[in-house]
Structure 1
Amino acid sequence: MSDSAFGGAEPSAVFPDWSPYHDLEAAARAYLRDPDVALEALDGVLRGASVLGFTLERFVNEVNGVWQEAVVCDGHRLLLWHGEDVPEDDGPAGSMTSSLRVVPVSTVTEVGCRQRMCRTPSGRVRVDSIDVYMLLSSMDEGAVPGEDGSMQARHDALRFGKTLDDGGPGQIARLREFAQVVASAIGQPVR
């Protein structure tokens, strides 16, 4: 996408680091291309509730342009805002979608956190990447083929990831922190 009405410039593949900001608004303004759109959608649901943790994601998609996400936990709900540029064939130039999904924390049945660790030449252990999943009690809209060829339903899941190249050590640590916040809200610590 060339000139977005929302960002005003060609999207960059390298984005500022949001991890030093522990305030959602400051982090969103530092990292998201469209922070006002995201914050307005989230504030409409938060309505003054405390933000216990959050994670942010943004990348450039070869087809659509910028894809961005903010996920917030207030202890009772997960609020997932997602903004995405619309391909030029699907709308006027500069169009984007903005969507919000609210998931009760009570529907999170499992939180998993997998870290890939490497030992540096000095012997120090370093986390190179983190993958977090949150299994929900709701069912996924799509079915998958089972071993017998029949279509099997599966539970919905939320997945988040950060690497040294995509986010760096600060965002890896913040995603781990976010997983711990959600896990403690459902009563199960992340190990």
Structure 2
Amino acid sequence: MSRPSFGSEIPAVFPDWSPYQDLDSAARAYLRDPEIALESLSGVLRGASVLGFTLERFVNEVNGVWQEVVVCDGTRLVLWHGEDVPPGDGPPGSLTSSLRVVALSAVTEVGCRRRLTRTPTGVVRVDSIDVYLLLSSLDEAGGGATAEDSTSTSTLRHDALRFGKTLDDGGAGQIARLEEFARLVASLVGRPML
């Protein structure tokens, strides 16, 4: 299954980044704008070791290409996000590029849900994975009381980072790499930072 393409310029199926163990090669194989992503990330990483990473890219009907890189350097998660600007919100070809840095000490919980299927021969395989990293910060969209209803209680929700891969969206290699990334972060959460 492939995603629909946006116009005729952007392919609906992207190359597989999972065989590449280094961030530079994986980003250049998978992202549409690897130079922008790598330059932004290097400005924050400044030579820090990249212990693990995960990549995401998809096309939507409104904004075009959406890209994300998440890097773990042992003490932080560095997230780069690039997204095409919707038509009419800027000159053609415009995109946003943003960075977010989250200290690993802010990750309070790591969750990983795998969907397993059994083949007719009895072999068990992973056909999708969903990963979440619950953060100590609060979600800005948590809601609250409105002027019309001052009796309602606000619902506080913690911010979370969510990632997912399926056999149709990324394949077995990217599922395995995302699970590897989740295990790395989980192994570091709660440990004293030097």
Structure-1 residue corresponding to 2:159:
156
Q: 1:176 aligns with which of 155, 175, 179?
A: 179
1:166 aligns with 2:165: no
Q: Which runs of 5+ in 2 are unaligned?
A: 1-5, 146-150
Q: How does 1:22-37 map to 2 (within 5 A)?
A: 22-37=21-36
Deviations 1:48-88 (A, max 9, x none): 00000000000001100000000000010000100000011
The SS at the match of 1:170 is helix
Computing the radius of gyration from Cα coordinates, the structure with the larger value is 2
CA RMSD of aligned residues (A): 1.6
Q: 2:188 aligns with which of 177, 185, 188?
A: 185
d(CA) in 2 for partners of 1:57, 1:144: 28
Post-superposition offset of 1:167: 0.2
d(CA) in 2 for partners of 1:28, 1:175: 15
Letter in 2 for 1:173: A
Structure-2 residue corresponding to 1:114:
113
Structure-2 residue corresponding to 1:5:
none
Judge conservation of contact 1:111–1:135 (CA < 8 Å) in 2: yes
Letter in 1 for 2:25: A
Q: Which runs of 5+ in 1 are unaligned?
A: 3-8
What TM-score results when the alignment is normalised by the length of structure 2?
Answer: 0.89
User: What is the aligned-residue identity percentage?
Assistant: 74
